Chain A
């Protein structure tokens, strides 16, 4: 199985900051990676697919990059509604594993 490792596990930042979350795969997954945002008590929401494609309706301050084994999710200027937990997930081959999550907290 392909293991996905996110870093950091927790990130403290302020409104307006630029933040980056990293996701590493245990083997190459090409660009078969998605990013999700989850707020407490809510279902996850798709942000990015195929590593760098922004889902329709998602603000352009979110961006994704990477290929192979290393990927990043960047939020260019944090807004109050962005404080949430973020997950990466590969879809290279089954099982489609998730990273453990990165909790983005208000500093």
Chain B
């Protein structure tokens, strides 16, 4: 059974940092591209970042470029999102997601809430 379990969310002040983790199981992690997708309270889905299966290629939405870094440890079957210089508009539930063929998401985690507020 595919499982994606996010952790690391919480309350942080503007300008602060957080590191999200996504522990995975039930599939060959190193064979899949992985993504982070977020959803602000009461709003729609926003793609944030994707990393290739090897970790060699990364992609970001413009609003997080230079502030967020996606990474992975294929030996630990874990995906990460390092978030720096956080802003109030980064407040959202962050979903870890498995990509099929580096294209669409075929499996989602349950999400972790990040709140940026003073």
Contact = CB atoms under 8 A, between A and B. Distances in A.
A24 to B, nearest CB: 15
Nearest to A98: B45
A101 B45 CA distance: 8
B56 interface: no
A95 B100 contact: no
A87 interface: yes
Contact of A101 (B44, B100, B108): B44
Majority-rule SS of A interface residues? loop
Interface of B: 44-47, 50, 59-62, 95, 100, 103-111
B61 A43 contact: no
A71 interface: no
Interface residues of A, number: 23
A46 interface: yes
B6 to A, nearest CB: 10
A87 B45 contact: yes
Given A43-B95, A49-B100, A49-B104, A95 B59 contact: yes
A95 B50 CA distance: 9
Contacts of A34: 103-105
Contacts of A100: 44
Contacts of A55: 106
B104 to A, nearest CB: 4
Contact of A32 (B46, B103, B108): B103
Nearest to A91: B103
